[in-house]
Structure 1
Amino acid sequence: MRKENEGAQGGSVARAILESKKFAVRALTRDVTKPKAQALRDLGIEVIKGDLDDEASVEAALKGTYGAFLVTNFWEHFSKEKEVCQGKLVADAAKRLGVKHVVFSGLENVKRLSGGKLEVPHFDAKGEVEEYFWSIGVPMTSVRVAAYFENFLTTWKPVKASDGDYYTLAIPMGDVPMDGISVADVGAVVCSIFNSPEEFVGKAVGLSAEALTIQQYADVLSKVLGKDIRDAKMTPEAYEKLGIPVGKEIANMCRFYQTRPDRDVKLTHRLNPKVKSFSQFISENKGAFKGV
């Protein structure tokens, strides 16, 4: 569940690579007039207009590059088919142009892994794209990013309980720890991966700052915000019945997370020694909880 932060992932990567001073950076965006695009330009990043549905603009963006970081955004159109098409278009262009290293923000193909029992379209699409990149022989590393800490500032914000002076977190994980990371910390990891192609080409790397149970996330929030915040102890089944537009998808994502997919905390810390803990992240973003 990463919808508010897809653009943030690309921005984080662009900044980290620029700071490393090993590569010049070119950023592809559909709207070059956006403040975020302007901010990248102010840093000295070449920002060009382009679209993942448009082959010519993808080719122009990739021409003459050593490597590329790709993130596709399911939440923009809610179409698994469209996301797969975009990923394959980039893969084909990278193959034609001989790009040396693509880092793709991927995820597992849950439908295939669960034998069709679980469908999580925003994971499954990325899983199909991962498989396609490797099948056509593009040198690619997939980074499978854990749940964003940023979601706790928006979608997963604590909600006031109806029966008392406390708040709840409704994330249907039971007592199974859920891996998390701040999207801002992804950039430095990707930069390290570009610097070590021999170690990472052809691999999938699961990124996580730490894994906490929902009660532990609630405890951190309680401590930092000075409120009583608790795990709502919600089941995936109950979550599906809340009537949230993507309720079933998020419930299935949590069912998949309960199988503890591979997210490597130790490796993530090696690739970005400054990666923030949830506690640090919430302390730095206290302002987002003003209404709580």
Structure 2
Amino acid sequence: MSDRKIIAVVGATGAQGGGLVRAISADPSGGFSARALTRDAGSERAKELAALGAEVVEADLDDETALRGAFDGAHGAFVVTNFWEPRTEEDQRRRSASQRELSQAANAARAAKEAGTRHVIWSTLPDTRPYFPAGDQQAATFDGGYKVPHADGKAEANRFFAESGVPTTYLQANVYYEAFLDPSLFGPRRDEQGRLVLAPGFADARVAAHAAEDLGRTAYGIFRKGEAMAGRAVSVAGSILTGAQYAEALTKALGEPVAYLPTGPDTVRAAGFPGAEEVANMLAYFVAAESDIARLVDEDLLHELNPRLQSFDTWLRGRPADLTIR
């Protein structure tokens, strides 16, 4: 019988969980094996993980009993919820996306406790609400009090893991580098004159970012380091740059000038597209919390956990096929 420590990975077919499964699979001498949790074991992504050697198990965050079974015998569990996951009309009528996340996180915390899991990594985000002045009439409020629901709800869910007593590390993502390749997110686009411009909306603030794959690699490093990481928060970032610096890096990678337009959250808020209010709130948080976000990033620890942590420049050099912008 294998003496490898099993890591149950929620969301194994997604960016975060998939990165962790691949990191475990790439280190056959590391003493760990991956149990990939997915709602559809027959999906192409699930089959790809199985081909890497992962044990694929069907489980749903809305089903606590199934989670309990999927965690059974596992040394550790990686838990992530997806605020943006498509929902049925019935589920949308019954609860908000934030309420769903809270329920799912509570299910996972209870399941981990009941299964005797020795170490949980909860993929969370910071609470943005303290950075908005009391009585702020400009920044919209959602779901009964959240400013950025996909972040604030996860921060609120931290308590389920703390109260469970299960040793938990709180892993915090920042902006994905991948967002700077998508013009619908932070990526450069062509203006009416055909010039490439970058206008992500966070003005002159320094913004922390990282490759999606590095989140999974860092999670693996946390499991390798062990329960000494319990109770700690780890904020992942490979670079912390201004918008102008991101534009400069893209200029070098593309071989074409990318001009930075220092637009701010108010410009995004005034644009009025669906979801503009929440996006503007997120950008306002980046600006207001700039120094606190940077302070949370422990570069020495991150490189210890993930020696392959990529800077934005390094990451761009590795993806020429992704840099074709028309």
TM-score, length of structure 1 as denominator length: 0.92
Q: Structure 1: where are the runs of 5+ without partners?
A: none
Distance 1:188 1:266 in 2: 15
Structure 2 vs 1, CA of residues 206 and 12 (structure 1 numbering), >3 Å: closer, same or farther?
A: same
Provide the secondary structure at the position in 2 that maps to 1:76: coil
Letter in 1 for 2:186: W
Cα shift at 1:113 = 6.1
Q: Is the 8 A contact 1:168 1:230 kept in 2?
A: yes
| Deviation (angstroms), 1:6 | 8.0
The 5-angstrom pairing of residues 250-265 of structure 1 reads 250-258=279-287, 259-260=289-290, 261=293, 262-265=296-299
Q: Distance in 2 between matches of 1:197 and 1:244?
A: 45
User: Equivalent residue for 2:91?
Assistant: none
Residues in 1 aligned to 2:13 and 2:174: alpha-carbon distance in whole angstroms: 13
**Are the structure 2 counterparts of residues 16 and 229 from structure 1 closer, same or farther at C-alpha, using a change threshold of 3 Å?**
same
Equivalent of residue 97 in structure 1, options 105, 115, 125 = 115
Q: How many residues align?
A: 287
SS of equivalent residue, structure 2 residue 14: helix
Alpha-carbon distance in 2 for matches of 1:16, 1:221: 27
Correspondence list, 1:218-229, <5 A: 218-229=247-258
Task: State the match for 2:167 in structure 1.
Answer: 139
Equivalent residue for 1:272, pick from 303, 306, 316: 306
Higher RCO structure (Cα 8 Å, ≥6 apart): 1
Letter in 2 for 1:160: R
Identity, % of aligned positions: 34
In structure 1, C-alpha distance between the alignment counterparts of 2:180 and 2:111, rounded to whole Å: 36
What are the ranges of 5 or more consecutive residues in structure 2 without an aligned counterpart?
1-11, 87-95, 140-146
1:188-207 alignment to 2 at 5 Å?
188-207=217-236
| Alpha carbons 1:120, 1:249 under 8 Å: kept | yes
Given that residues 6 and 73 in structure 1 are in contact (C-alpha distance below 8 angstroms), is that contact kept between their aligned partners in structure 2? no
- 1:159 matched residue in structure 2: 189
Name the CA distance, whole Å, in 2 between partners of 1:127 and 1:273: 28
- 40-49 vs 197-206, greater mean Cα deviation: 197-206
Report the counterpart of residue 55 of structure 2 in structure 1.
Answer: 46
Find out whether 1:282 has 2:316 as its counterpart: yes
The amino acid of 2:221's aligned partner reads: S
Offset, 1:98 = 1.6
Output the TM-score relative to the length of structure 2: 0.83
- Alignment-derived partner of residue 168 in structure 1: 197
Tell me what 2:25 maps to: 18
Q: Which amino acid aligns with 1:269?
A: H
Moved over 3 A (4+): 112-118
| Offset, 1:165 | 3.7
